[in-house]
Amino acid sequence: MVIIAPGVVETPLLATVSEEYRVRLAELVLFPAWLGNADERAWLVCIAVEHVYFV
């Protein structure tokens, strides 16, 4: 079983807030302490589905 906990993902709405707010928000993510994006999450899901040993 694979569980993906995406943390905080960059979205168009998040792009409207200040850089200081985005940095502070990224610091709340335990590991890795950065904001992900939807393409990275989609890639991770594809890898998990394509590789049977993750199941």
Whether the pLDDT of residue 52 is over 90: the answer is no
Could you tell me the residue ranges of all domains in the chain? 14-54
pTM for the full predicted model = 0.60
Whether the pLDDT of residue 55 is over 70: the answer is no
Q: Which pLDDT value is given to residue 17?
A: 92
DSSP letters, 29-40, are SSSS-S-B-HHH
Residue-wise pLDDT for 9-26, tens only, equals 888 888 899 999 988 888
Q: How far apart are the first and last CA of the chain?
A: 5
* pLDDT, the chain, mean: 83
Task: For residues 20-38, give the mean pLDDT.
Answer: 83
Continuous H helices in the chain: 19-27, 38-50
Q: Which pLDDT value is given to residue 34?
A: 78
